[in-house]
Structure 1
Amino acid sequence: MTNALTRLFKIAPAPSEPRQKDWGEVERGLGVELPADYKELIHVYGGSNWDGYLYVLEPGCPNRHYDLIVWAEDQAEALEGLWEFEKKPAELEVEGSRVIPWATTDNGECLYWLVRPGLEPDRWTVMVNEARGARWEHFSVSCTQFLASALDGELQSNILSSLFPRATHQFRQLGAV
Protein backbone atom coordinates (compact mmCIF):
# COMPACT_ATOMS: atom_id res chain seq x y z
CA MET A 1 0.00 0.00 0.00
CA THR A 2 1.30 3.43 -0.92
CA ASN A 3 1.85 6.18 1.62
CA ALA A 4 -0.67 8.33 -0.27
CA LEU A 5 -3.35 5.65 0.01
CA THR A 6 -2.69 5.39 3.74
CA ARG A 7 -3.22 9.16 3.95
CA LEU A 8 -6.53 8.79 2.08
CA PHE A 9 -7.70 6.18 4.62
CA LYS A 10 -7.35 8.87 7.30
CA ILE A 11 -9.46 11.25 5.21
CA ALA A 12 -12.17 8.77 4.20
CA PRO A 13 -12.60 5.18 5.38
CA ALA A 14 -12.49 2.71 2.52
CA PRO A 15 -15.81 1.30 1.30
CA SER A 16 -16.46 -2.27 2.43
CA GLU A 17 -16.59 -3.76 -1.07
CA PRO A 18 -13.38 -3.48 -3.11
CA ARG A 19 -13.78 -3.04 -6.87
CA GLN A 20 -12.32 -5.82 -8.98
CA LYS A 21 -10.99 -5.05 -12.46
CA ASP A 22 -9.46 -7.03 -15.28
CA TRP A 23 -6.57 -4.60 -15.65
CA GLY A 24 -5.15 -6.51 -18.61
CA GLU A 25 -8.35 -5.89 -20.57
CA VAL A 26 -8.51 -2.25 -19.46
CA GLU A 27 -4.89 -1.61 -20.43
CA ARG A 28 -5.29 -3.32 -23.80
CA GLY A 29 -8.29 -1.06 -24.45
CA LEU A 30 -6.28 2.04 -23.57
CA GLY A 31 -3.11 0.86 -25.26
CA VAL A 32 -1.00 1.58 -22.17
CA GLU A 33 -0.24 0.09 -18.78
CA LEU A 34 -1.65 2.15 -15.90
CA PRO A 35 0.14 3.20 -12.71
CA ALA A 36 0.01 0.75 -9.80
CA ASP A 37 -1.12 3.43 -7.34
CA TYR A 38 -4.14 4.22 -9.52
CA LYS A 39 -5.08 0.53 -9.73
CA GLU A 40 -4.84 0.31 -5.95
CA LEU A 41 -6.91 3.50 -5.55
CA ILE A 42 -9.65 2.07 -7.79
CA HIS A 43 -9.54 -1.31 -6.05
CA VAL A 44 -10.12 0.38 -2.69
CA TYR A 45 -12.31 3.40 -3.53
CA GLY A 46 -13.57 2.79 -7.08
CA GLY A 47 -14.84 5.68 -9.12
CA SER A 48 -15.43 8.29 -6.49
CA ASN A 49 -16.36 11.85 -5.62
CA TRP A 50 -14.24 13.76 -3.12
CA ASP A 51 -15.53 16.81 -1.26
CA GLY A 52 -18.44 17.13 -3.68
CA TYR A 53 -16.05 18.40 -6.35
CA LEU A 54 -13.39 16.03 -7.68
CA TYR A 55 -14.39 12.82 -9.49
CA VAL A 56 -11.89 9.97 -9.87
CA LEU A 57 -12.58 8.15 -13.14
CA GLU A 58 -12.89 4.36 -13.12
CA PRO A 59 -12.74 1.99 -16.09
CA GLY A 60 -16.18 0.41 -16.35
CA CYS A 61 -17.53 2.80 -13.71
CA PRO A 62 -21.10 1.97 -12.62
CA ASN A 63 -21.85 5.65 -13.34
CA ARG A 64 -21.15 5.74 -17.07
CA HIS A 65 -20.45 9.49 -16.93
CA TYR A 66 -17.17 8.77 -15.11
CA ASP A 67 -15.84 5.85 -17.16
CA LEU A 68 -12.07 6.17 -17.66
CA ILE A 69 -12.12 4.48 -21.10
CA VAL A 70 -14.82 6.81 -22.46
CA TRP A 71 -13.09 9.88 -21.03
CA ALA A 72 -9.73 8.82 -22.49
CA GLU A 73 -11.21 8.46 -25.96
CA ASP A 74 -13.22 11.69 -25.78
CA GLN A 75 -10.36 13.77 -24.37
CA ALA A 76 -7.83 12.46 -26.90
CA GLU A 77 -10.15 13.55 -29.71
CA ALA A 78 -10.99 16.90 -28.09
CA LEU A 79 -7.36 17.76 -27.41
CA GLU A 80 -6.27 16.91 -30.96
CA GLY A 81 -8.78 19.48 -32.20
CA LEU A 82 -7.71 21.96 -29.54
CA TRP A 83 -4.02 21.76 -30.49
CA GLU A 84 -4.95 23.09 -33.93
CA PHE A 85 -5.91 26.41 -32.29
CA GLU A 86 -4.02 26.53 -28.99
CA LYS A 87 -0.40 25.99 -28.13
CA LYS A 88 0.33 22.72 -26.35
CA PRO A 89 1.74 22.95 -22.84
CA ALA A 90 5.55 22.75 -22.88
CA GLU A 91 5.40 19.33 -21.18
CA LEU A 92 3.65 17.93 -24.26
CA GLU A 93 6.13 19.27 -26.81
CA VAL A 94 8.34 16.18 -26.37
CA GLU A 95 7.63 13.87 -29.32
CA GLY A 96 5.33 11.02 -28.29
CA SER A 97 4.10 12.73 -25.09
CA ARG A 98 0.40 12.72 -24.34
CA VAL A 99 -2.09 13.05 -21.53
CA ILE A 100 -4.66 10.56 -20.27
CA PRO A 101 -7.46 11.76 -17.96
CA TRP A 102 -7.83 10.16 -14.53
CA ALA A 103 -10.13 12.69 -12.81
CA THR A 104 -12.43 15.62 -13.49
CA THR A 105 -14.30 18.20 -11.44
CA ASP A 106 -17.86 19.44 -11.30
CA ASN A 107 -16.59 22.68 -12.91
CA GLY A 108 -15.09 20.82 -15.88
CA GLU A 109 -11.39 20.95 -15.00
CA CYS A 110 -9.61 17.80 -16.07
CA LEU A 111 -6.73 16.04 -14.32
CA TYR A 112 -4.42 13.99 -16.51
CA TRP A 113 -1.43 11.74 -16.32
CA LEU A 114 1.50 13.11 -18.28
CA VAL A 115 2.68 10.16 -20.36
CA ARG A 116 6.14 10.43 -21.87
CA PRO A 117 7.94 7.95 -24.12
CA GLY A 118 10.09 5.50 -22.19
CA LEU A 119 8.70 6.60 -18.82
CA GLU A 120 7.20 3.82 -16.71
CA PRO A 121 3.56 4.41 -15.65
CA ASP A 122 4.52 4.52 -11.97
CA ARG A 123 6.59 7.61 -12.78
CA TRP A 124 3.81 9.50 -14.56
CA THR A 125 3.00 12.90 -13.10
CA VAL A 126 -0.17 15.01 -13.02
CA MET A 127 -1.31 17.79 -15.34
CA VAL A 128 -4.37 19.92 -14.53
CA ASN A 129 -6.23 21.82 -17.28
CA GLU A 130 -8.71 24.56 -16.52
CA ALA A 131 -12.26 24.21 -17.79
CA ARG A 132 -12.79 26.02 -21.07
CA GLY A 133 -9.36 27.61 -20.97
CA ALA A 134 -5.74 27.27 -21.98
CA ARG A 135 -4.13 27.24 -18.51
CA TRP A 136 -2.32 24.09 -17.42
CA GLU A 137 -0.44 23.17 -14.24
CA HIS A 138 2.09 20.39 -13.82
CA PHE A 139 2.64 18.57 -10.52
CA SER A 140 5.53 16.14 -10.12
CA VAL A 141 3.50 13.62 -8.12
CA SER A 142 1.46 10.49 -8.83
CA CYS A 143 -2.33 10.69 -9.08
CA THR A 144 -2.84 9.22 -5.59
CA GLN A 145 -0.23 11.57 -4.12
CA PHE A 146 -1.99 14.46 -5.85
CA LEU A 147 -5.39 13.48 -4.44
CA ALA A 148 -4.13 12.94 -0.88
CA SER A 149 -2.01 16.11 -0.93
CA ALA A 150 -4.83 18.23 -2.38
CA LEU A 151 -7.29 16.94 0.23
CA ASP A 152 -4.98 17.52 3.19
CA GLY A 153 -3.95 20.97 1.93
CA GLU A 154 -0.30 20.12 1.27
CA LEU A 155 -0.70 20.77 -2.47
CA GLN A 156 -2.30 23.93 -3.86
CA SER A 157 -3.63 24.40 -7.39
CA ASN A 158 -4.34 27.78 -8.97
CA ILE A 159 -6.80 26.10 -11.34
CA LEU A 160 -8.94 23.98 -9.03
CA SER A 161 -11.72 25.65 -7.05
CA SER A 162 -10.70 27.68 -4.01
CA LEU A 163 -13.52 25.83 -2.18
CA PHE A 164 -11.61 22.55 -2.60
CA PRO A 165 -10.79 20.90 -0.32
CA ARG A 166 -13.57 21.30 2.20
CA ALA A 167 -12.79 21.66 5.90
CA THR A 168 -14.86 18.53 6.57
CA HIS A 169 -14.17 15.98 3.87
CA GLN A 170 -16.89 14.17 1.99
CA PHE A 171 -16.40 10.91 0.10
CA ARG A 172 -18.90 9.12 -2.12
CA GLN A 173 -18.32 6.02 -4.19
CA LEU A 174 -19.94 6.40 -7.61
CA GLY A 175 -22.78 4.00 -8.34
CA ALA A 176 -25.10 3.38 -11.25
CA VAL A 177 -27.35 6.22 -12.33
Structure 2
Amino acid sequence: MGVVLPADYKRLVRTYGGGVFAGLLWLLEPDCPDAMYDLVAQTAEREEILTDLWAMGEKKPPELDEGDVRLVPWGYVEGAGHVLYWLVRPGVEPEEWTVILNEGRGPLWEAHAMSCSQFIHDVVTDTSSSYYFDDIDDIVDPEERTLFRPTSQILGQEEVSRPPAEG
Protein backbone atom coordinates (compact mmCIF):
# COMPACT_ATOMS: atom_id res chain seq x y z
CA MET A 1 0.00 0.00 0.00
CA GLY A 2 2.93 2.28 0.50
CA VAL A 3 1.66 4.08 3.62
CA VAL A 4 2.15 3.77 7.37
CA LEU A 5 -1.25 3.22 8.96
CA PRO A 6 -2.53 5.36 11.85
CA ALA A 7 -1.75 4.10 15.36
CA ASP A 8 -5.42 4.16 16.41
CA TYR A 9 -6.34 1.91 13.49
CA LYS A 10 -3.54 -0.50 14.40
CA ARG A 11 -4.85 -0.61 17.99
CA LEU A 12 -8.39 -1.29 16.76
CA VAL A 13 -7.22 -4.19 14.58
CA ARG A 14 -4.93 -5.53 17.32
CA THR A 15 -7.77 -5.34 19.86
CA TYR A 16 -10.74 -6.43 17.79
CA GLY A 17 -9.49 -7.61 14.41
CA GLY A 18 -11.54 -6.67 11.40
CA GLY A 19 -15.28 -6.93 11.70
CA VAL A 20 -18.52 -5.05 12.03
CA PHE A 21 -19.49 -2.50 14.67
CA ALA A 22 -23.18 -1.92 15.44
CA GLY A 23 -24.20 -4.34 12.71
CA LEU A 24 -23.35 -1.89 9.96
CA LEU A 25 -19.89 -0.32 10.16
CA TRP A 26 -17.19 -2.65 8.82
CA LEU A 27 -13.54 -2.24 9.79
CA LEU A 28 -11.26 -3.64 7.09
CA GLU A 29 -8.14 -5.53 8.16
CA PRO A 30 -4.88 -6.45 6.43
CA ASP A 31 -4.47 -10.11 5.44
CA CYS A 32 -8.15 -11.02 5.75
CA PRO A 33 -8.79 -14.26 3.84
CA ASP A 34 -11.85 -12.67 2.19
CA ALA A 35 -10.88 -9.87 -0.23
CA MET A 36 -14.13 -8.02 0.56
CA TYR A 37 -12.85 -7.35 4.08
CA ASP A 38 -9.13 -7.07 3.31
CA LEU A 39 -7.59 -3.61 3.63
CA VAL A 40 -4.96 -4.16 0.91
CA ALA A 41 -7.35 -5.76 -1.60
CA GLN A 42 -9.97 -3.07 -1.04
CA THR A 43 -7.37 -0.32 -1.44
CA ALA A 44 -6.46 -1.63 -4.90
CA GLU A 45 -10.10 -2.22 -5.85
CA ARG A 46 -11.32 1.20 -4.70
CA GLU A 47 -8.44 2.97 -6.48
CA GLU A 48 -9.49 1.28 -9.72
CA ILE A 49 -13.20 2.02 -9.20
CA LEU A 50 -12.59 5.69 -8.38
CA THR A 51 -10.20 6.14 -11.31
CA ASP A 52 -12.88 4.75 -13.64
CA LEU A 53 -15.64 6.93 -12.12
CA TRP A 54 -13.56 10.08 -12.40
CA ALA A 55 -12.55 9.20 -15.98
CA MET A 56 -16.29 9.01 -16.80
CA GLY A 57 -16.79 12.52 -15.42
CA GLU A 58 -17.94 12.00 -11.85
CA LYS A 59 -16.80 14.95 -9.76
CA LYS A 60 -13.95 14.43 -7.29
CA PRO A 61 -14.30 15.80 -3.78
CA PRO A 62 -12.53 19.18 -3.44
CA GLU A 63 -10.11 17.69 -0.89
CA LEU A 64 -8.50 15.73 -3.74
CA ASP A 65 -7.63 18.88 -5.69
CA GLU A 66 -4.76 19.63 -3.32
CA GLY A 67 -2.10 17.78 -5.28
CA ASP A 68 -0.56 14.41 -4.50
CA VAL A 69 -3.43 13.28 -2.28
CA ARG A 70 -4.62 9.71 -1.97
CA LEU A 71 -7.64 7.88 -0.57
CA VAL A 72 -7.14 4.66 1.39
CA PRO A 73 -10.30 2.80 2.43
CA TRP A 74 -10.54 1.54 6.01
CA GLY A 75 -14.24 0.69 6.29
CA TYR A 76 -17.64 0.62 4.71
CA VAL A 77 -21.29 0.69 5.72
CA GLU A 78 -23.25 -2.53 5.34
CA GLY A 79 -26.35 -2.17 3.20
CA ALA A 80 -25.77 1.45 2.22
CA GLY A 81 -22.46 0.88 0.44
CA HIS A 82 -20.83 4.01 1.86
CA VAL A 83 -17.04 3.71 1.84
CA LEU A 84 -14.90 5.26 4.57
CA TYR A 85 -11.44 6.45 3.57
CA TRP A 86 -8.45 8.16 5.04
CA LEU A 87 -7.47 11.26 3.12
CA VAL A 88 -3.70 10.78 2.86
CA ARG A 89 -1.84 14.02 2.23
CA PRO A 90 1.92 14.33 1.70
CA GLY A 91 3.66 15.53 4.84
CA VAL A 92 0.64 14.87 7.06
CA GLU A 93 1.16 12.31 9.81
CA PRO A 94 -1.22 9.30 9.76
CA GLU A 95 -2.70 10.35 13.11
CA GLU A 96 -3.80 13.61 11.47
CA TRP A 97 -5.50 12.09 8.42
CA THR A 98 -9.06 13.14 7.71
CA VAL A 99 -11.85 10.55 7.50
CA ILE A 100 -13.77 11.00 4.27
CA LEU A 101 -17.00 9.17 3.45
CA ASN A 102 -18.25 8.53 -0.08
CA GLU A 103 -21.95 7.74 -0.23
CA GLY A 104 -22.61 4.33 -1.67
CA ARG A 105 -25.14 5.15 -4.32
CA GLY A 106 -24.24 8.65 -5.32
CA PRO A 107 -21.51 11.21 -5.87
CA LEU A 108 -21.57 12.94 -2.48
CA TRP A 109 -18.59 13.07 -0.13
CA GLU A 110 -18.34 14.07 3.51
CA ALA A 111 -15.10 14.93 5.37
CA HIS A 112 -14.50 14.59 9.12
CA ALA A 113 -11.34 15.87 10.80
CA MET A 114 -10.97 12.91 13.16
CA SER A 115 -9.42 9.46 13.46
CA CYS A 116 -11.19 6.31 12.32
CA SER A 117 -11.55 5.16 15.94
CA GLN A 118 -13.20 8.47 16.87
CA PHE A 119 -15.51 8.16 13.86
CA ILE A 120 -16.53 4.64 14.90
CA HIS A 121 -16.99 5.78 18.52
CA ASP A 122 -19.22 8.66 17.43
CA VAL A 123 -21.38 6.36 15.28
CA VAL A 124 -21.71 3.74 18.03
CA THR A 125 -22.56 6.34 20.70
CA ASP A 126 -24.96 8.22 18.39
CA THR A 127 -22.92 11.43 18.60
CA SER A 128 -21.79 11.47 14.97
CA SER A 129 -22.13 14.71 13.02
CA SER A 130 -22.35 12.71 9.79
CA TYR A 131 -25.47 13.20 7.72
CA TYR A 132 -25.35 9.48 6.95
CA PHE A 133 -25.63 8.45 10.60
CA ASP A 134 -28.08 11.01 11.95
CA ASP A 135 -30.86 8.41 11.95
CA ILE A 136 -28.87 5.51 13.38
CA ASP A 137 -31.66 4.65 15.82
CA ASP A 138 -33.87 4.00 12.79
CA ILE A 139 -31.22 1.68 11.34
CA VAL A 140 -29.79 -0.11 14.39
CA ASP A 141 -31.47 -1.18 17.61
CA PRO A 142 -29.86 0.94 20.37
CA GLU A 143 -29.02 -2.24 22.31
CA GLU A 144 -27.06 -3.55 19.31
CA ARG A 145 -25.15 -0.34 18.67
CA THR A 146 -22.33 -1.36 21.00
CA LEU A 147 -21.92 -4.88 19.57
CA PHE A 148 -18.90 -5.98 17.56
CA ARG A 149 -18.69 -9.14 15.46
CA PRO A 150 -15.23 -10.15 14.21
CA THR A 151 -14.82 -11.04 10.56
CA SER A 152 -13.46 -14.44 11.59
CA GLN A 153 -16.76 -15.21 13.32
CA ILE A 154 -18.82 -13.96 10.38
CA LEU A 155 -16.78 -16.03 7.93
CA GLY A 156 -17.10 -19.07 10.21
CA GLN A 157 -13.39 -19.31 10.90
CA GLU A 158 -13.55 -18.72 14.62
CA GLU A 159 -13.51 -21.90 16.64
CA VAL A 160 -16.50 -22.41 18.84
CA SER A 161 -15.58 -22.99 22.46
CA ARG A 162 -17.13 -26.24 23.67
CA PRO A 163 -17.12 -27.82 27.12
CA PRO A 164 -14.97 -30.95 27.48
CA ALA A 165 -16.74 -34.23 26.72
CA GLU A 166 -17.71 -36.23 29.77
CA GLY A 167 -16.38 -39.48 29.96
Confirm or deny a common fold (TM above 0.5). yes
Q: Deviations over 1:26-85 (max 9, x none)?
A: xxxx11111011001100011011111111000012444200001000001111111121
Does residue 77 of structure 1 match 2:48?
A: yes
CA contact (8 A) 1:42 1:58 kept: yes
Structure 1 contact 153–165 (Cα < 8 Å) conserved: no
1:173 maps to which of 143, 150, 166: 150
Is residue 2:77 matched to residue 1:105? yes
Is 2:19–2:148's contact at 8 Å kept on the other side of the alignment? yes
Specify whether residues 104 and 161 from structure 1 end up closer, same or farther in structure 2 by C-alpha distance, changes over 3 A only.
Answer: farther
Determine the structure 2 residue equivalent to 1:61.
Answer: 32
How far off its partner does 1:160 sit?
4.3
**Deviation of 1:162 (Å):** 2.6
Alignment of 1:144-155 (within 5 A): 144-155=117-128
Q: What letter corresponds to residue 147 of structure 1 in structure 2?
A: I
Report Cα offsets for 1:76-124 as digits up to 9, x if no partner. Answer: 1111111121111111110001110000111211000011111111111
Q: With structure 1 as the length reference, what TM-score do the two structures score?
A: 0.78
Structure 2, unaligned stretches of length 5 or more? 157-167
Q: Which runs of 5+ in 1 are unaligned?
A: 1-29
Q: What percent identity do the matched residue pairs reach?
A: 42
**Paired residue total:** 148
Look up the SS of the partner of 2:114 in the other structure. Answer: coil
Indicate conservation of the 8 Å contact 2:22/2:148, yes or no.
yes
Question: Following the alignment from structure 1 to structure 2, what is the Cα–Cα distance between the partners of residues 113 and 165?
Answer: 25
Compute the TM-score of the two structures, normalised by the length of structure 2. 0.83
